[in-house]
Amino acid sequence: MSLTGSQIVDEVCDIVGKKVTAVSVSGQSLQTRVLRFVNWGQRRIARMHSFHELNQLYTGASLVADQKRYHWTSDLGLTRPKDIFDIRLIDGENSRKIERWNPRRFDRIYPRPENYTTGRPKIYIRWGPYLEFFKIPDDSYPLYIRYPQWASELTLDGTSDFENKDKLLIIAGVLETYLALQENAEAGVWYKYFLDEMKRCTHGEGNVDWEPEAEAHGEEGYKSGQPWRDPYALPGDPLWNYPE
């Protein structure tokens, strides 16, 4: 069972040795401030890892004919998007995964996309909260978008979007509280606690389809016409390391 925002705030205040009813110089209650700090902690967590419970698949987005740029919330309908994992154009004719390019690469090769004919998009770039597609669509195309979210703002009566991570939220809240109170020595201690708990939480997620991919290491073997570069040769062999 997840703790409510109020219960998390109480735990944080107990750890830092402050009363929930304490009032700051500006007149704010510590309860209000610590709730804000816990929300900062949620953002810190989300920046470091995209947990499964905040990864979404949205199928309600679509492209519009002759429109190149789309705001990812007002145009595409994403909710609290942090980034984009994957975009697929899926229809009855020629479904495809749309490839993400670096903006510098895209601008170098296609400095003015409007110079090209419209068509079925195969490339997109992200620039701020906007996505730009190329080719510029010539029709309305449905999109399937996988994306990670930011957690919604935690309230005193509500529970966090993070699942089974109350301890992590409390530690993050303590860390942000000590940082805000400028108690740097304590903040350093709790930052180590935070990193350790983050490691435990991320290791708790599985990815059963993941397989390592081997990469070349060191000097390659021989090419056609270079039999003296036998990759299995030993230093004692007459042709080992024969100069080219």
| Terminal C-alpha separation, the chain | 69
241 vs 45: which has the higher pLDDT: 45
The structure tokens 């056609």 sit at: 224
What's the whole-number average pLDDT of the chain? Answer: 88
Confidence of residue 241 (pLDDT cuts 50, 70, 90): low
Backbone conformation region of residue 225, classed left if phi is above 0, alpha if psi is from -120 to 50, else beta: left
pLDDT tens, position by position, 122-165: 999 999 999 999 999 999 999 999 999 999 999 999 999 999 99
211 vs 77: which has the higher pLDDT: 77
Is the pLDDT assigned to residue 17 strictly greater than 70?
yes
DSSP codes of every residue in the chain: -PPBHHHHHHHHHHHHT--TT-B-TTS-BHHHHHHHHHHHHHHHHHHH---GGGEEEEEEEE--TT--EEETTTTT--SSB----EEEE--SS--EEEEE--HHHHHHH-S-GGGSPPB---EEEEETTEEEEESPBSS--EEEEEEEBPPPPP-SSSB-SSSS-HHHHHHHHHHHHHHHTT-HHHHHHHHHHHHHHHHHHHHT---TT--------SS--PPTT-TT--TT--TTSTTTT---
C-alpha to C-alpha distance for 142 and 59, rounded to whole angstroms? 8
* Res 26: pLDDT: 82
* Res 6: pLDDT: 95
The average pLDDT across 69-98 equals 93
Q: What is the CA radius of gyration of the chain?
A: 26
The average pLDDT across 159-180 equals 96
* Res 2: pLDDT: 87
C-alpha to C-alpha distance for 111 and 151, rounded to whole angstroms? 36
Percent of residues, the chain, with pLDDT higher than 70: 84
Contact 173, 8 (CB under 8 A): yes
Confidence of residue 28 (pLDDT cuts 50, 70, 90): confident
pLDDT tens, position by position, 62-78: 999 999 999 999 999 99
Helix 166-180 to helix 184-203 angle, to the nearest 10 degrees? 160
* Res 240: pLDDT: 55
Confidence of residue 91 (pLDDT cuts 50, 70, 90): confident
Contact 232, 240 (CB under 8 A): no
Confidence of residue 38 (pLDDT cuts 50, 70, 90): very high
